[in-house]
Structure 1
Amino acid sequence: MSSGEPTIDRVARTDRLSSDEVAEVLVLARLAGDTDGADPFDEHTLLRLRDPQAPARHLTARATDGTLTGYAHLDTTDPTSGVGVELVVHPGFRRRGTGRALARGVLAAASGPLRAWAHGDHPSAAAIAVDLGFDRARVLWQLRRPLTEAVPPPRLPDGVTLRAFRPGEDDDAWLDLNARAFAEHPEQGRWTTDDLRARLAEPWFDPAGFLLAVESPGGRLLGFHWTKVHERPGSARIGEVYVVGVDPTAHGGGLGRALTTAGLAYLRDRRGLDRVMLYVDESNTAAVSLYERLGFARWCGHVNYHLG
């Protein structure tokens, strides 16, 4: 074979990765994220990678020397509604057919509809999606704003106060509220007790940054703003509006805006951060408008492709 000629790596499929293989995938994901400016896996996939009991299929691509050159994760929790797919290729081994080989492996390994995320809307991902017949179905924007600028003070509706989330006490009430607030959302509204507990156990979890809007008297939960702080070596700290939800019965009173600004103030004043990000569906025009009025601007996009 002549030098520089593209090669297709060996692709293998398994239903379980060893701890060493998981570590390899995480290193690969970090390298790709640093190169592309967008991490290749969302939080859901990262949590499942670290959970050996999570139902999934894994495709690995390796060079002849054993180097991990690519990986695809297939979430098979509910294949009838669609197998979730995320795929990454090593930055040093691109343009040699690895991505397409993994994508074809995904088609061979999964039955039923597929839902594949292309984080950062990478052109190579778009090209593969078009060639294999995927449709561009959904766009998730990442918005950012500095926290060095003024944050509007939260103006809570009458009879509403804020307090911190209490793990073990608020779990069920919060899950009920989350399900109501995101009844039409394809992921957030389906959270289970296990989904919540997995995140409460994460090193980044801070109950003081999980703000609950409580009705007085009675104590009924009306809304929440769960904040998050991203910290990793070599990167600047950044806050996240992780999720903001409001009970449908409390819409129209300004609670969503008040919760958002309260969380921004927490990230700036209590955590000392100078920038913040969030994710919002392009189709959620009301939320996009609110965030833009609060000083957020588009940073990058993530595209969900469907097949079947």
Structure 2
Amino acid sequence: MVQLTWRNGLDDAETAEVENLLAEAEETDGVAPVGEQVFLRLRSHRGVAEQVEPVRADVPGSEHFVARLDGELAGYAHLDTSGESAGQPLVAELAVRPGSRRRGVGTELVRALAQRAEVPLTAEALAGDTGGLRLWSHGLLPDAVGLAERFGAVRVRELWRMGRELAGAELDEPRLPEGVSIRSFRVGRDEPELVRVNHRAFRWHPEQGGMTEEDLREKEQLDWFDPAGFLLAVDGSGTVLGFHWTKVHPDGTGEVYVVGVDPDTQGSGLGRALTLAGLRYLRDVGCPRVMLYVEADNGPAVAVYRRLGFERWDVDAQFGL
């Protein structure tokens, strides 16, 4: 029988258990069951003065659902509640240990998440799609899709992972607007300007648009962060007009992590120039291939990436209840 508990924070031992479960699922499925933000929250904590207990995975906007079978961790779900006060849906990501699948663990996790989001799992309610809960399926794995469909969830968002080979690739020279140059990010100096441009560029985006200086500094502490691959486009006065933040994965795959330009520069070719500059950087540091994530319904962006040689590799989808 599945034993399910809710946590507003995980201690070090539970956090280690969850990270091991996520690693097992990724090794079996070939895709991480949760996004980067969940890993960041698992490794963060509130200030000691704000904590009831000194637990690590205890940050505002995060709740944790832990499922056990015979005392062993069998499943985990992370619930992002950061948009709840603004009336936005709660967003969940979950994983079931490979050896514990098809034993009702995923079903119990979804039921608990729906209860927390106050989504009644009745035929009448599902037909009306209350929109209170979003469930991510990374890689559109058959079991995950089947679980979502079993509850009548509707696909509401798709995120494509696109990629191309880089080794030996011929890439055009970036053509920058007049008076614009590209330089690397300066830690401790560029954070305010970067966050300002990011907000203007991604005001519409449910995750990226809300990045704060605190979020940025947190990512600066990650093993993969390298300011040399964080390229900023600046005008003659030093004002940041856009950026291309690149990432190199442990297997050597490069990533177009984020490309953003100030809306006032759109139509100048700055976005394409920044993208090319980042691709050339990743090629020159030895990345054999490169990938990126893009919203499936962002037709202009998909078209630009296709012209740059990218093809769709796989899909993440968000299902709504």
Q: TM-score, normalized by length of structure 2?
A: 0.88
| Displacement of 1:67 | 2.2
Q: Which residue matches 1:225? A: 244
1:117 equivalent in structure 2: 136
| Matching residue of 1:96 | 103
1:110-259 → structure 2 map (5 Å cutoff): 110-111=117-118, 113-148=132-167, 149-216=169-236, 218-231=237-250, 236-259=251-274
SS at match of 2:164: strand
Q: Which amino acid aligns with 1:226?
A: W
How far apart, CA to CA, are the structure 2 residues paired with 1:151 and 1:90?
Answer: 42
Alpha-carbon distance in structure 2 between the residues aligned to 1:243 and 1:60? 32
In the alignment, what sits opposite 1:108? 115
- Spell out, residue by residue over 1:14-42, the C-alpha distance to the aligned partner (whole angstroms, 9 max, x if none): 11111111111111111111221211111
Q: Distance in 2 between matches of 1:248 and 1:25?
A: 40
Show the counterpart of 2:317.
Answer: 303
Measure, in 1, the Cα distance between the counterparts of 2:303 and 2:234: 25
| 2:80 equivalent among 69, 75, 82 | 75
For each residue in 1:95-148, what CA deviation from the matched residue of structure 2 results, as whole angstroms up to 9, or x when unmatched? 111111111111123347112211011222222222223221000000111111
Q: Secondary structure at the match of 1:129?
A: helix
Deviation at residue 242 of structure 1 after TM alignment: 0.3
* Number of the residue aligned with 1:3: none
Deviations 1:64-90 (A, max 9, x none): 1x3211100111222121212000011
- CA distance in 2 between counterparts of 1:104 and 1:166 reads 46
Query: CA separation of 1:21/1:144 partners in 2, compared to 1, >3 Å: closer, same or farther?
Result: same
Q: 2:29 aligns with which of 12, 36, 41?
A: 36
> In structure 1, what is the Cα distance between the partners aligned to 2:12 and 2:117?
24
Secondary structure at 1:38 match in 2: coil
Shift of residue 237 of structure 1?
Answer: 2.0
Q: Is residue 9 of structure 1 aligned with residue 2 of structure 2? A: yes
Of residues 62, 85, 92 in structure 2, which corresponds to 1:85? Answer: 92
Q: Give the aligned partner of residue 289 of structure 1.
A: 303
Partner of 2:124: none
* Aligned counterpart, 1:50: 43
CA distance in 1, matches of 2:45, 2:194: 27
Question: What residue in structure 1 maps to residue 52 of structure 2?
Answer: none
Alignment correspondent of 1:279 = 293
CA root-mean-square deviation: 1.3
* Corresponding residue of 1:5: none
Aligned to 1:4: none
The alignment status of 1:63 with 2:56, answered yes or no, reads no
In structure 2, distance between residues paired with 1:110 and 1:137: 17
Deviation at 1:178, TM superposition (A): 0.5
Number of aligned positions between the proteins: 293
What's the CA shift for 1:285? 0.7
Distance 1:59 1:240 in 2: 31
**Cα deviation 1:187-231 (Å, max 9, x = unaligned):** 111111221111111111101110000112x11211100001111
Aligned to 2:277: 262
Please list every run of 5 or more consecutive structure 1 residues that lacks an aligned counterpart in the other structure.
Answer: 1-7
Once the two structures are aligned, what percentage of the paired residues are identical? 49
Q: Which amino acid aligns with 2:219?
A: R
C-alpha distance in 2, partners of 1:18/1:11? Answer: 17
Distance 1:21 1:153 in 2: 49
